[in-house]
Chain A
Amino acid sequence: MSDFATMKQATAPRDGALLWKSIERRLFSPGILILPLAIFLLFFFFIPAIRLMTFSVMTQNAQGVIGAPFTLAHYIRFFEVDLYQKVLWSTIRISLITSFLAAILAYPVATVLVRGNIALTRIITLIVIAPLAVSVVVRAYGWQLILGNGPTGLLNYVLMNLGIIESPLAILFSDSAVVIGSLHIFFPMMVLPLSSALGKIDPNIQQAARTLGAPAWKVFVRVTLPLSLPGLLAGFTLVFSLASASYVIPALIGGPGSQMLGNMVEQQVLAVYDWPFGATIATILVLIVILINAISMKLLGGRRIKANAS
């Protein structure tokens, strides 16, 4: 590989320089370069995460010590008690609705982003991306102000002044508020992969479909949608994964009925001090996220193989 370098070393045999060169070679080899991060993640991510999950099959004694005997009692409790079932389903429901809404609304935005003129594209990019840098706590507060249940919430104020509603709506502290808030937080995660997928489609294909007489909706269903599927799937997976692990949004703008798994974990650990059950809910949350990512990877992988075969 570097014969020339070796030759040079051989012709100028200065021991110090040679030694340094060999140390330097080893120091900057891939195995060493990755070592700090590997050790860091092993001790501060993988081991603690796995250890936490093992708590879900252990018992906590009266002194708060967690250990044997091993048991599935926490999982049985989770799947038998109505309250926990309700929280599980509201987590899945809210995340699914958010992901679907994000997908439907992101198509128009991503299309304009890819095919609109340059000035417009710049503004849209800025508006979509800039809020990503604003803390979820701040944005949840903003939605509190908008959805406020009295007549002084922005939405109620506007709707009442327009004469659309007679008395104020009660959206804040409901499932709808959580969906609205989650959509606001995670919308960019759908637009970005979708617009990059749409950008890769050869415009001539859509042009050809239209020239051959397909109406706009048919071009979308038969050409644009299938070709942008990888982006859609990536966005959907990302939004679902992030939304299902929400904590701040349900805590600040959700009601007692719209608390999600994350809120339940916090409650079990910090209020009830039941570590094994908290770990059980956390493990279920992790499994949901892993499952959706595995499904999406399988779908994408299958597609790629099919594309290669044809």
Chain B
Amino acid sequence: MSSYFEINELKAEIEGKPILNGLSLTVAKGETHALMGPNGSGKSTLANVIMGHPAYEVTGGEILFEGENILELDPEERARKGLFLAFQYPVAVPGVTVASFLKHAHDAVYGEKKLKAAEFLKQLRADMDFVGVDQTFLNRYLNDGFSGGEKKRMEILQMLTLRPRMAVMDETDSGLDIDALKVVSMGVNKLVGAEFGLLVITHYERILRYIHPDHLHVLIDGKVAFSGGPELVKRLEEEGYDWVRNEFGKEALMA
């Protein structure tokens, strides 16, 4: 099987400090992968590098999406190829309304195939209902004064709006109460399917009760230290994250 989304020997640093030290993992089409690891292991750096944040410098390796090395693409080109990052800390954008932002994003990603304004709005309203975002948010400034939970729902709403083919979720579960977590997971699961790849970056096993991964990777010191299939996921579900901690030692997994 040709690879769908493949990270090979990725090395990256920020402000001269190496964070990723030869990270490799592969997500096949239709699969959901979970990436776990302690603070400082490089989880968020990986998410930002995948999307092309200019503050991070890639010093080696490649990221292939459908055979193309996306490291050579601008962030907007990656998004237009069908890549999506749900941010851990979505920034507030005062002055730009949710409706305007989503329409611009939709138009940019879909280009010629974009929906007409009325059609777009209809779909958007349906998606908002689905993830429990009130319609009044359309006219609010993006993430401005939103609670943590509202911001995360907004990320999922954006994901539903743009319908990516490969998504990375960077600790979307952090700071969510169980109800919000269920809603967010429901939104994600709407996209999960044969034509979709998903990489869930998380600190906690909790979200994996709602979004079921096919594979699990453990990230330590900027490298995948351990990977496994369904049996590993099952063990994690049964024994919790403590098991990983015992396996790899407390020092490495200090939270």
Q: Do A and B bind each other?
A: no
Partner-A contacts on B (CB < 8 A): none
